[in-house]
Amino acid sequence: MENIKSYVQQHKDRFINELIELLKIPSVSADTAYSQDVIDTAEAVKESLSKAGCDYVETCDTPGYPIIYGEKIIDPNLPTVLVYGHYDVQPPDPLELWTSPPFEPVIKTTDIHPEGAIFARGACDDKGQMYMHVKALELMVQSNTLPCNVKFMIEGEEEVGSASLAWFVERNQEKLKNDVILISDTGMISNQQPSITTGLRGLSYVEVEVTGPNRDLHSGLYGGAVANPINILAKMIASLHDENNHITIPGFYDKVEELSAEERAEMAKAPFSLEKYKNALNIADVYGEKGYVTNERNSIRPTLDVNGIWGGYTGEGAKTVIASKAFAKISMRLVPNQEWEEITELFTKHFTSIAPAGVTVKVTPHHGGQGYVTPIDSIGYQAANKAYTETFGVPAIPVRSGGSIPIVALFEKELKSKTILMGFGLDSDAIHSPNEHFGIFNYLKGIETIPLFYKYFVELSK
């Protein structure tokens, strides 16, 4: 532990500068304008893995962006840790809300990060958290303390649904064989209270299109006489929740697992301040499903949210028009046991059925994935908990997250191994938002904690 700390102290400036270089490449997977940057980032990751000590690295071509694979096998009889992460990032817009450009990383202090945080798109999600693993490998190789085999699989399409990764995993089961999968792509409660993510929500993401008249119309000449697709879409969307904020799609809750009173009481023990939560978001009150508290609403309960809505005239000034079409992108966060394909079908059937005559509705599924829960009595969980306990001085608390990493359920199905979600980000790090950042404290703590996970995982596996 002291050796780990001193290695990190000695090399921390370089660790920070290397991450900053990686953050400068705008690897936005959703936008083809950045495709060369995404590919360049993959190559940068590959190089960093070989420099850190992998014996073998490979750019694996896929139908989409490449997957970087790396390994260091020290003894086939020892356990193997498979590290997964992603080098792609979310689009940076709206650009005008960034206090410094998203791909020009700078270190600034915040109330929560008095020792500084790196501000850049991808700083926390997931370049910063992925790179902790690369530096942890360097540390273990340089100090001769790598206690087992390690494989890396770093993809470039996580933010757009991981389609190529699913393709890759199905075709490379032998290559990816492992004893535990380790991911840092989630968060923790606070810098004083670490937590381990034991659940992720599933996802069904769809786009809807409502079509009315065959062309845009004068809103005076035709207004009142034909269905306005934007009015109709707004009404249809509003009807998807009832007065208790329950989702109205028939069958939506059929497979939802109800937690016992004991499990809910256990969840309520995690430190949480509603006042601080409201203040941080500048809202007068929270909002959500009746009968559940905030920490339940955003983790153990399924949800439906509009992510974007458009149509008609949105330019400067006013134009009197009834648009021919209206659109929305809708995500449904799901809980374990809900099948995402089934939910997509239920949504499509219901949404089409509530459309009045006078419009037609098209639903296009985008992507989806299953939720995940993992037990806390596994060797992997215990190793992670021991590692956090040692570096933070307090044990980690198990927490179910509201976010999704759809590929985790697929890993379990295809590779038959458990995933341990060792996240070091904070909810306030603004992932997917303007001014995303990652605390220097969190970055360095991650690099210190990961080698201890390896150590305890090997010890507990004996």
Contacts of 452 (CB under 8 A, 6+ apart): 1, 4, 386, 387, 390, 391
Indicate whether 448 belongs to the interface with Mn ion (CB under 5 A).
no
Nearer to Mn ion, 154 or 326 (CB): 154
| Cβ neighbour number for residue 5 with a 10 Å cutoff | 12
Nearer to ligand BES, 403 or 439 (CB): 403
Nearer to Mn ion, 71 or 125 (CB): 125
C-alpha distances (whole Å) from 266 to each of 335, 409, 420 are 18, 24, 20
Nearer to ligand BES, 178 or 195 (CB): 195
Contact yes or no for 385/395 (Cβ under 8 A): yes
Take residue 136 and report the two structure tokens written for it. Answer: 């942890």
How far apart are CB 435 and Mn ion at their closest, in Å? 15
Contact yes or no for 400/299 (Cβ under 8 A): yes
Residues in region 288-327 near Mn ion by CB under 5 A? none
Nearest Cα to Cα of residue 168 among 60, 292, 57:
60
Indicate whether 125 belongs to the interface with Mn ion (CB under 5 A).
yes
How far is the C-alpha of 425 from the C-alpha of 137, rounded, in Å?
20
How far apart are CB 137 and ligand BES at their closest, in Å? 21
Contact yes or no for 121/111 (Cβ under 8 A): no
Nearer to ligand BES, 189 or 321 (CB): 189
**How many residues sit close enough to ligand BES to count as binding (CB under 6 A)?**
16
Indicate whether 92 belongs to the interface with ligand BES (CB under 6 A).
no
Residues in region 179-198 near Mn ion by CB under 5 A? 185
How far apart are CB 185 and ligand BES at their closest, in Å? 4
Interface pick for Mn ion out of 126, 155, 179, 429 (rule CB under 5 A):
126
C-alpha distances (whole Å) from 273 to each of 64, 189, 198, 280 are 43, 11, 21, 11
Per-residue binding string, ligand BES, 148-187, x by CB under 6 A, is ----------xx-x-----------------------xxx
Nearer to ligand BES, 45 or 148 (CB): 45
Contacts of 210 (CB under 8 A, 6+ apart): 229, 230, 232, 233, 236, 325, 326, 327, 355, 359, 360, 361
Question: Which residue ranges make up the site for ligand BES (CB under 6 A)?
Answer: 125-126, 158-159, 161, 185-187, 200, 203, 367, 401, 403-406
Question: Which residue ranges make up the site for Mn ion (CB under 5 A)?
Answer: 125-126, 185
